Amino acid sequence: MRGFLLLFLAQTVLSLAYLPASPLLARVGPLRSTPASPEFVRAELARKQAEYESARAKRSLAETSSTSAPIPALSSLPKLPYLNSTGLLTPIPTTPRVRASVFAVFDARGGLRFVGQSRDVQQSLRMMLGRRPAETHQVAVHHIEKPSRDLLDTVRRAWIEEAGGEVPGNDGGAEQALWEQALDVNKLMTEEDRQSVVDGRNISKLKEESAIKAICRRYEDEKSAVLKERGCTEPVRFCPKLKGQGLLDLWVKKTKDVVPGGAPGGGKPKPKRGGGVK
Ligand SMILES: *[C@@H]1O[C@H](CO)[C@@H](O)[C@H](O)[C@H]1NC(C)=O
Ligand SMILES: *[C@@H]1O[C@H](CO)[C@@H](O)[C@H](O)[C@H]1NC(C)=O
């Protein structure tokens, strides 16, 4: 009996290995290659992945519809000024239970420019003030206490739909990168800029870095001028370390749950702000 079983198993394995047209394999679809080939393995992996994703999507839909508050329409939320009357970043009201937020940023005319999501909305708003100083005039926030990636995405998508389906800062391309990433000055260099970097490189690493920093400062000055014109008194500082790499982004204080020294700037602690500002 045992011997028979072994023989049967061996035959099955052989048929799998040598007979790609075997009906046993028909379920995998119109695969032309041999079962043990990389294509076969990839196809199997893709199938498993798809099964997993579909199950996960069903689960999260169930969670979303059963346990969470309804998604508020963007138009139903108050629009807060990005900067308050003293020119400081408006503190977004929150509670300790809030774990993540979806937020919408509006320009001076009230046009929706970007919908984002964050685990630290105050920090994100600060970053975006530095990235888009001219486009950040009002903000609407929806807090979530039990966030999942799917729930955050659902709110974001709903708001984008509500706005007519197209929000400039959510174009999935260059405009979105301006909101979500440091400004990459390397891509904006003129011929002259490039030459100054090459010249610096020829002398020393340090000279090259200072040439790149000088180019960054041009863009930094533009941003600072916009903020000044808006009456912004928020102390903003662009990260010097990033500037050396041709990247322009604000230096931000590490949040509590981040290991000290792990922030993008990796810099020294920020000097204490005076004037009773917490
Ligand atoms: C503006 O916001 C700051 C916090 O960023 C706060 O300390 C200050 O009191 C606010 N000013 C007014 C007038 O609300
Ligand atoms: C680098 O410097 C050397 C002299 O130190 C010079 O001969 C060379 O042309 C320079 N190269 C560039 C790319 O400027």
Tell me: the pLDDT tens digits for 123-175?
Answer: 999 999 999 999 999 999 999 999 999 999 999 999 999 999 999 999 999 99
Instruction: Report the residue among 197, 198, 202 best suited for mutation to probe ligand 2: largest number of ligand atoms under 8 A from its CB.
Output: 202
Burial 215-239 (b: 16+ CB within 10 A, else e): bbeeebeebbebbeebebbbebebb
pLDDT of residue 252: 83
Paired strand residues for 248: 183
Mean model confidence pLDDT for the chain: 80
Tokens, residue 1? 């009996």
pLDDT of residue 35: 55
Which one of the ligands is nearest to 88 CA?
1
pLDDT of residue 16: 43
Confidence of residue 266 (pLDDT cuts 50, 70, 90): very low
Query: Who has greater pLDDT, 52 or 79?
Result: 79
Q: Quote the Cα angle for 256-261-264, to 5°.
A: 90
Give the distance (Å) from ligand 1 centre to CA of residue 85: 7
Question: Which residue, among 101, 223, 193, has the nearest Cα to 156 in the 3D structure?
Answer: 101
Residue 254 clears pLDDT 90, i.e. is over it: no
**Range in 30-34, 213-217, 249-253 with the lowest mean pLDDT:** 30-34
Query: Who has greater pLDDT, 55 or 97?
Result: 97
Residue 182 Cβ contacting ligand 1 at under 6 Å: no
Residue 178 clears pLDDT 70, i.e. is over it: yes
Taking the complete model, does pTM exceed 0.85, yes or no? Answer: no
Helix (H, G, I), strand (E, B) or coil at 273: coil
Phi–psi pair at 193, nearest 5 degrees: -60, -50
Q: Residues 1-27: what's their mean pLDDT? A: 44
Question: Hey, what domains does the chain have and what are their CATH numbers?
Answer: 74-175 (3.40.1440), 184-248 (no CATH)
Residue 206 Cβ contacting ligand 2 at under 6 Å: no
Q: Residues 30-58: what's their mean pLDDT? A: 68
Give the distance (Å) from ligand 1 centre to CA of residue 129: 16
SS3 track for 65-133: HHHCCCCCCHHHCCCEECECCCCCECCCCCCCCCCEEEEEEECCCCCEEEEEEECCHHHHHHHHHHHCC
Residue 202 Cβ contacting ligand 2 at under 6 Å: yes
Burial class (CB in 10 A: 0-12, 13-18, 19+), 65: exposed
